[in-house]
Structure 1
Amino acid sequence: MENKRIIQVDEKVPVKLLIPLSIQHMFAMFGASVLVPFVFGINPAIVLFMNGLGTLLFILITKGRAPAYLGSSFAFLAPAGIVISKWGYDYALGCFVAVGFCGCVLALIIYKFGSEWINVVLPPAAMGPVVALIGLELAGTAASNAGLKDEVLLPANIIVFLVTLLTAVIGSVVFRGFLSVIPILIAIIAGYVASLACGIVDFSEVAAAPLFALPNFQTPKFNMQAIAIVLPVLLVITSEHIGHQIVTSKIVGRDLLKDPGLHRSLFADNFSTMISGFIGSVPTTTYGENIGVMAMTKVYSVYVIGGAAVLSIICSFIGKMTTLISTIPGPVIGGISFLLYGMIGASGIRILVDAQVDYGKSRNQAMTAVVFVTGLSGISVQLGSIQLTGMVLACVVGMIMGLAFYILDKLKLTNDRDE
């Protein structure tokens, strides 16, 4: 720990380290994860419960070999919003079940035919920028959370944002021993203290909240028309999942697409979404914030992830605690996100470096350039009720280009192919 050594995926962590490391992961995902239930108009307690349960299921299904925390998926917001407005939230739950089930079927297909095709349709020159876009396209969200995009910048927001960000950055560089693996948690605490000093924390909701409360469980209803509206999201979440698994593989130094296998992780991800629909929660997905925490702290242990999942489940039954955590101000979340999202972007650049991508080849220049511009330009493609934009659209474009170059190679029409 003194030299900030790597704690690998399968390493156990002493309890005195496990608890703060787990709290750090839970706080990292909390701000974004509870936003989805707020948009849908449901109590976030059920979401915290399912995030924890889904994460534990993920660890179990992947045999403890793939560190990932499952939080609320943003990909469902637009189509599910349409379903909720027409039929109600219980029919949206039926859509979540259907999408999760289809995702499990897709995972079984990948198990049958393998995942080697990924290297064909997404070579490093395309995968690098796709992974980088996972973090870069969220940069605006981090700035919005911090209040830096408001028409009028409030001094209190700027102070809290800077205290949080600088604590995280400086702590990651100068902290030693145990402190070197919890700079995110320390930064959140520092930011919260600064928020109290600036008077931007409201405890009225905490006082009104009950001490203990059961999550609001609901059952789904099914409508084929509603399912048809939401089902295309499967393309989005599959692309997102592959990108997250690849960037996590680079961070932990293991090929998670092979061990435990893309079929296991994709099945676990979608199985969690299916269970979410059955109990009244929102769809889940592997979370970039927690990937960023692992990249920064070099702690990859699934025991830490599992500890965070257990804490999330416990919090879902404690009304005052859930409400207290939700009082963490936006500038604190924004300050942390600034660093974590940037770490994910840097991991995409690392893929290009590690793969030694040869930009003397025209194809590599073209793929990286087009993928980056597609993801950052703000353009979108509408497929029915689904809008492809950002990283997902860039991933689709990268796949098309990779497959096209592969076919041209087979036809011996390219001028830079490897003999």
Structure 2
Amino acid sequence: MAKRIIQVEEKVPANLLVPLSIQHMFAMFGASVLVPFLFGINPAIVLFMNGIGTLLFIFITKGKAPAYLGSSFAFIAPANIIIAKFGYPYACGGFVAVGFCGCLLAMIIKKFGTKWIDIVLPSAAMGPVVALIGLELSSSAANTAGILGDNIDPKNVIVFAVTLGMAVIGSVCFKKFLSVIPILIAVVTGYLTAVAVGIVDFTPVLEASFISIPNFQAPKFSIDAILMMLPVLLVIASEHIGHQIVTGEVVGRNLIEDPGLHRSLFADNFSTMISGLIGSVPTTTYGENIGVMAITGVYSVQVIAGAAILSIICSFIGPLSALIQTIPNPVIGGISFLLYGMIGTSGLRILVDQKVDYGKSVNMILTSVVFVVGLSGVTIHLGNISLSGMVLACITGMIMSLLFYIFEKFHLLNEEE
């Protein structure tokens, strides 16, 4: 029997809404709170803005694009340089500037349309680019789980294995109500296992005050800081297009056309701009939550909105926020293993669904080069920005696709002989 699909606009039964929303919040939590830790700020403000940003995204895209907004990793390198040189408020000023420019880019796309995407990113290039979104994160999941390196703690391995095992078994064996919350069940099971082996510290929960106000702060602006941050716009635009396409593949809709790339890109960057204005970190659509939708078959924006509201509530309730922060890395890593793999599979699905003909050398070359560039570890440095992995592969694929399009127009391809 095929899995029951709950589509984007469908209402979710009341008894399912809360557990499904919690599942989405847990999926994004580990990666999202890592960014504020790297920047040296309290993660409560990030939980608050993740929720606000997600609700804004749903509103701007008219509830047609299911996406959860979490902390963006694309800004980490330039932001750390700005924080060290000028201070965190100036990094926030950079976030505001990039978000504003991203909104302008969305308006340009609205004016000129999205037909250019089919030219610069045909299926033979888009498939591997989308697959790389998940594949390049696989080592990150293993590192988070604590199962890389020479000195591996057996406790981490046990918790990781239990979490991943429960997620896999739940995804293929659970039925009825349990079949839509396998990730939540895996997180709870992994957490209880972590408590049993003694790697959970409840001290932060006991010491937290019941009501905590997120640490809001105003941005400061410096032209030097803004110029250091601005090249990130190229990275987040490429990432956003990839996420929208893979989400569209998961839910079976063309989100680039409806609600439109201009709407989703504007919403994404508008959230980043607001984040900078209140002292939070930039936001972006999250691959982890795309993976949850792929596994569960639940695409309803009502569930995404529920997760956003829960995130906002957690940002104000000290013990609850602290409790979520006690989820150990092996649990997050175990879940990420499966979710990242599902994203990679979605990229391969594009190649299958679009019936890409690998009898044509153009398609073979495109897919081959994009995969190798993305997985090779090659990094190109442009000032303070680094291009590598999926982003570099995406740019490479766009350049090659454009060249092949020109070659075809001038009848230079040998396949025409």
Q: TM-score range by the shorter chain?
A: over 0.9
SS at match of 2:254: coil
Distance 2:279 2:71 in 1: 13
Superposition map of 1:74-85 within 5 A: 74-85=73-84
Check whether the contact 1:4–1:181 (CA below 8 A) recurs between aligned residues.
Answer: no
**Letter of the aligned partner of 1:33 in structure 2?**
S
Q: CA shift at 1:151, angstroms?
A: 1.8
Q: CA shift at 1:4, angstroms?
A: 3.0
Distance 2:341 2:415 in 1: 33
SS at match of 1:387: strand
Superposition map of 1:267-416 within 5 A: 267-416=266-415
Superposition map of 1:27-176 within 5 A: 27-176=26-175
Q: CA shift at 1:155, angstroms?
A: 1.3
Deviations 1:83-118 (A, max 9, x none): 111110000010000000000000000000001100
Deviations 1:152-174 (A, max 9, x none): 12111111111100100011111
Matched, 1:188 2:187: yes
Deviations 1:365-411 (A, max 9, x none): 11101000000000011111100000000000000000000000110
Q: CA shift at 1:3, angstroms?
A: 5.5
Deviations 1:343-369 (A, max 9, x none): 000000000000111111111111101
Distance 2:152 2:89 in 1: 40
Distance 2:67 2:271 in 1: 13
Distance 1:272 1:21 in 2: 24
Distance 1:39 1:385 in 2: 17
Q: CA shift at 1:137, angstroms?
A: 0.3
Q: CA shift at 1:150, angstroms?
A: 3.1
**Letter of the aligned partner of 1:411 in structure 2?**
F
List 4+ stretches of structure 1 deviating above 4 A: none
Distance 1:273 1:28 in 2: 20
Q: CA shift at 1:415, angstroms?
A: 2.3
- Closer, same or farther in 2 for the Cα pair 1:280/1:370, shift >3 Å? same
Q: CA shift at 1:263, angstroms?
A: 0.1
Matched with 2:244 is 245
**Which consecutive unaligned segments of at least 5 residues does structure 1 have?**
none
SS at match of 2:284: strand
Deviations 1:23-72 (A, max 9, x none): 00000000000000000000000000000000000000000000000000
Check whether the contact 1:4–1:176 (CA below 8 A) recurs between aligned residues.
Answer: no
**Letter of the aligned partner of 1:268 in structure 2?**
A
TM-score, with structure 2 as normaliser: 0.99
Distance 1:249 1:211 in 2: 40
SS at match of 1:34: helix
Check whether the contact 1:247–1:347 (CA below 8 A) recurs between aligned residues.
Answer: yes
SS at match of 1:416: helix
TM-score, with structure 1 as normaliser: 0.99
Superposition map of 1:198-277 within 5 A: 198-277=197-276
Distance 1:251 1:198 in 2: 37
**Which consecutive unaligned segments of at least 5 residues does structure 2 have?**
none
Distance 2:200 2:21 in 1: 24
Distance 2:367 2:340 in 1: 20
| C-alpha RMSD over aligned residues | 1.0
Distance 1:316 1:337 in 2: 23
Check whether the contact 1:294–1:300 (CA below 8 A) recurs between aligned residues.
Answer: yes
Check whether the contact 1:124–1:355 (CA below 8 A) recurs between aligned residues.
Answer: yes
Distance 2:170 2:21 in 1: 18
Check whether the contact 1:3–1:176 (CA below 8 A) recurs between aligned residues.
Answer: no
Distance 2:379 2:158 in 1: 36
Distance 2:153 2:83 in 1: 35
Q: Mean alpha-carbon deviation: is it higher for 270-279 or for 147-156?
A: 147-156
State percent identity of aligned pairs: 72
